[in-house]
Amino acid sequence: MSRLDSFIRRLTAQKQLLETVADRISGLDGCVLELGLGNGRTYSHLREILPERDIYVFDRDLACHPSCIPDSEHMIFGEIRETLAFCGPRIKTKAAFIHADLGSGDQTTDLATSSWLSPLINKHLAADGYVLSGLPLQLDGFNEFPMPDGIRPGRYYIYQKVSVEKAVNESLEDDSAAGGSEGRRVGADLGGAMDRADARRSWG
């Protein structure tokens, strides 16, 4: 596959998944966290599909298209490891949706990012909220959803934080209900997930 085709596929998948999660949070209160502004493409799309939501954007740089610069209240500058840990007073509510586009392409850096990012995501995500991530995360007890047809597994990851109420209900049902009909309950096999993601990326 040409690099152009691969690029088009990646962006098409990203758009489809952002829209899927936006639909899924329709009944859920909370803000949206965009981790990694970059040139602002996904932020611009989130603003369009979730116009009523507060979207807080995190990046260490400002390198986006001028039309995508968030206002000062919603732009949080600095290292995400620090800013996400201390943004509570600014964002006030838990997030219904966290989009994390922080992959570097370097396995060691990505493993380190996933390791510090996972607990911070857990801290800021509302019960039943969703995470769409380019990196596998270590989110014990969350549901992980399979990719829709046409999107290669290992390219993106969708997780949902399971509310206590839902977990109790599931534990009262039979084993086949664990993880629900759509998702699979995940544990902590980050190294394995990263290796599988790397292997898939090397296919093109």
Interface residues toward ligand SAM, by CB under 6 A: 36-42, 59-61, 79-81, 101-102
Rounded least distance, CB 64 to ligand SAM, Å: 7
* Tokens 């270590």 sit on residue: 138
Q: Edge-to-edge strands of the sheet including 157-160?
A: 75-77, 55-59, 31-35, 95-100, 125-133, 157-160, 143-145, 184-185
CA gap 167, 169 in Å, rounded: 5
- Whose Cβ is closer to ligand SAM: residue 60's or residue 90's? 60
Q: Which is nearer to ligand SAM, 39 or 171 (CB)?
A: 39
| Other Cβ atoms closer than 10 A to 79 | 12
Comparison of 20 and 170: residue with beta carbon closer to ligand SAM? 20
**Which residues are CB-neighbours of 95 under 8 A, at least 6 positions away?**
30, 31, 32, 33, 124, 125, 126, 129
Closest CA to 75 of 192, 85, 64: 64
CB nearer ligand SAM, residue 37 or residue 96: 37
For residue 46 the two structure tokens come to 């989130």
| Category of 78 on φ-ψ map: left (φ > 0), alpha (ψ -120 to 50) or beta | left
Residue closest to ligand SAM (Cβ): 38
Shortest distance, CB of residue 78 to ligand SAM, whole angstroms? 7
The minimum distance between CB 140 and ligand SAM, in angstroms, equals 22
| Closest distance of CB 189 from ligand SAM, Å | 23
Nearer to ligand SAM, 61 or 71 (CB): 61
Backbone angles phi, psi at 183, to 5 degrees: -110, 170
CB-nearer residue toward ligand SAM: 154 or 180: 154
Cβ 145 vs Cβ 160: under 8 Å: yes
Nearest distance from residue 94's CB to ligand SAM, in Å? 21
What is the closest distance, in whole angstroms, from the C-beta atom of residue 60 to ligand SAM in the complex? 4
Residue with the two structure tokens 């909370």: 30
